[in-house]
Structure formats: structure tokens, C-alpha cells
């Protein structure tokens, strides 16, 4: 299975097409190296933007390109990704995602009268089941069943005893207070959802995706030195970089030219949104 890496959003899919045609032979060749197709590319773009996440199967493919080709390839891919996220297909997927992420309202509460009747039904069923079981047992065990039945029947009688029942009128006030709190929380979440996912408008989601990339790629030290450890594995000479997350390390491996080009495109795009 191919490893999934985090990388710049503009490289997310090595997408050389979004309208059914490949931009040029260079991107076509690159696409073939990544062994992907248009449907998979579009699916992965949507996954990346809605995550947000940053996906590429193998950064070595990018590094194998000449520096000038890396920059031009990134810019071409960025333009095509930018085009796709404004397409009707993408908007349709976005609206479905929007509905999927819509907060769920709390269930209508059960008040004391309903809870009492449910408990009554449960006790009656338990009594009937216990009486049935009693008839299937030896007589020497009947006394034990009689004690259990007496307990259940007492609980059944106490349901309507104002002094002993737990289902009292004041219980409804506590239930209502709890439900009102849940509704207030639900309304707040709906408001947040409407702001984060406006209908037919994925711009806030795209902005979040781009901002996350710009933030994560802002402090890459491309001059950090590597050396082999005693097992032959490449490690950072400066130990602080060993503790960086996988996304930071992938940007480092992608190289300054690639990341700089992606950041430039991303910032320009962000300014337009």
C-alpha cells in the first residue's frame, strides 16, 4: 500500500486536469507516474479540501523534476485545482458534505408521565416473565421466586404512590431545564455550522484549507542538515527537527523551490477569496 504523506495543497493530487483534458504532456507524464485517474484525483481533492488534509503518494516524483519544472508544474496544478473547486460537481459534493456535518438536534425529552408508564410496562413484563420461570423450576425454588415477585409487585404499586414514586411533577422541571440547555447548545452549533458551511459556497472551507497550509509551511528550515545514524537512517543533526510532525518533514523533503511556489500561489488565491 502506498504511504500517504502530507504535502502542499497545490500538489495534493498531481492534478493535470479538471475538465476531462490533460493540460500538457508534462503533467500527463507526471499523472501516469502517480498511477491515478481523473475520478480518483477529483475525489482526493475534495477529501483534501474538506479535511483539511494534504495528500501526495510520493514526494520523490516531485523532487525528480528539474527546479524550473517543479515550479511550473505546481502553478499549473494549482490553477486546475482552483478551477475544479468552483465547478458544479464540486459544489454539489460540498452541499452534501454540508448536510452531513449539520448538527443533530437533541431528542425530544420524555417527561415523568411517559417515563412512569414505560417503567410500569417494564415491571409488568418482568413479573410475567418471572412467574413463567417459576413454573419451570422445582418447588423448592418457588420461595425464592416469590420473594422476587413480591419485590417487583411492590415497585409496581409504588409507581402511583405520591410519597414513594420517583416520577414526581418536579421531575419534569429538571427534565425541561436539561432539554433547554441542549437546545441552546444546538442553536449555537447551528449558527457555527451556517457560518462555516454556507449553502452553495465552499469559500470558507477553501480558506481554512489554504490557511492551514500557509501556517504549517511557514517555518520550514530548508537548510537543516541531515546525517546517517548508526543504522544508516537519515536523521536531523539538530535534534529539535526530529520532533517536528510528518507534515513539516514532508515540506522539508519537498524542497524550498516547491514549497515557495506553492505558498505564493496559495497566498494569491487566498487574497482573491
- Per residue in 125-153, pLDDT (tens digit) is 999 999 999 999 999 999 999 999 999 99
Question: What are the distances in angstroms from CA 242 to CA 5, 36, 79, 238?
Answer: 17, 32, 34, 8
The single-letter DSSP state of residue 51 is T
DSSP, residue by residue, 67-106 = HHHHHHHHHHHHHHHHHHTTSHHHHHHHHHHHHHTSPPPP
Query: If DSSP states are collapsed to H, E and C, what string results for 132-158?
Result: HHHHCCCHHHHHHHHHHHHHHHHHHHH
Residue-level pLDDT at 70: 75
- pTM over cut 0.85: no
pLDDT digit string (tens) for 188-220? 999 999 999 999 999 999 999 999 999 999 999
- Spatial CA neighbour of 262 closest among 80, 19, 77, 95: 77
> Could you give the CA distance from residue 180 to residue 184 in angstroms, rounded to a whole number?
6
Q: Which three cell numbers stand for residue 117?
A: 408508564
> Could you give the CA distance from residue 38 to residue 20 in angstroms, rounded to a whole number?
7
Burial of 198 per CB tally in 10 Å (0-12, 13-18, 19+):
middle
CB atoms within 10 A of CB 227: 9
Most confident region among 16-30, 60-74, 113-127 by mean pLDDT: 113-127
Least reliable range by pLDDT among 8-17, 139-148, 215-224, 251-260: 8-17
Asked if pLDDT for residue 250 goes beyond 90, the answer is no
Q: In whole numbers, what is the pLDDT of the chain averaged over residues?
A: 84
If residue 123 lies in a helix (H) or strand (E), which one and from where to where?
helix 112-135
Amino acid at each position: 500500500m502506498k504511504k500517504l504523506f502530507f504535502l502542499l495543497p497545490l500538489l495534493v493530487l498531481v492534478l493535470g486536469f479538471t475538465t476531462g483534458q490533460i493540460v500538457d504532456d508534462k503533467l500527463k507524464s507526471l499523472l501516469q507516474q502517480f498511477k491515478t485517474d481523473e475520478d480518483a484525483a477529483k475525489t482526493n481533492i475534495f477529501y483534501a479540501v474538506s479535511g483539511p488534509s494534504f495528500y501526495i503518494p510520493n514526494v520523490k516524483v516531485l523532487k525528480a523534476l528539474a527546479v524550473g519544472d517543479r515550479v511550473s508544474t505546481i502553478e499549473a496544478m494549482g490553477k486546475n485545482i482552483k478551477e475544479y473547486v468552483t465547478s458544479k460537481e464540486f459544489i454539489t459534493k460540498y452541499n452534501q458534505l454540508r448536510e452531513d456535518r449539520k448538527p443533530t438536534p437533541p431528542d425530544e425529552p420524555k417527561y415523568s408521565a411517559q417515563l412512569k408508564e414505560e417503567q410500569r410496562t417494564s415491571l409488568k413484563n418482568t413479573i410475567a416473565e418471572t412467574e413463567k420461570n417459576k413454573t419451570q423450576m422445582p418447588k423448592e425454588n418457588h420461595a425464592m421466586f416469590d420473594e422476587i415477585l413480591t419485590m417487583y409487585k411492590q415497585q409496581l404499586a409504588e409507581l402511583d404512590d405520591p410519597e414513594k414514586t420517583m416520577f414526581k411533577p418536579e421531575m419534569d422541571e429538571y427534565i425541561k431545564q436539561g432539554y433547554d440547555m441542549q437546545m441552546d447548545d444546538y442553536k449555537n452549533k447551528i449558527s457555527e455550522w451556517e457560518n462555516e458551511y454556507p449553502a452553495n459556497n465552499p469559500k470558507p472551507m477553501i480558506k481554512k484549507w489554504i490557511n492551514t497550509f500557509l501556517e504549517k509551511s511557514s517555518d520550514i528550515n530548508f537548510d537543516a542538515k541531515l546525517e546517517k545514524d548508526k543504522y544508516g537512517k537519515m536523521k536531523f543533526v539538530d535534534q529539535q527537527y526530529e520532533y517536528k510532525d510528518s507534515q513539516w518533514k514532508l515540506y522539508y523533503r519537498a524542497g524550498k523551490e516547491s514549497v515557495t511556489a506553492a505558498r505564493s500561489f496559495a497566498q494569491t488565491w487566498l487574497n482573491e477569496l
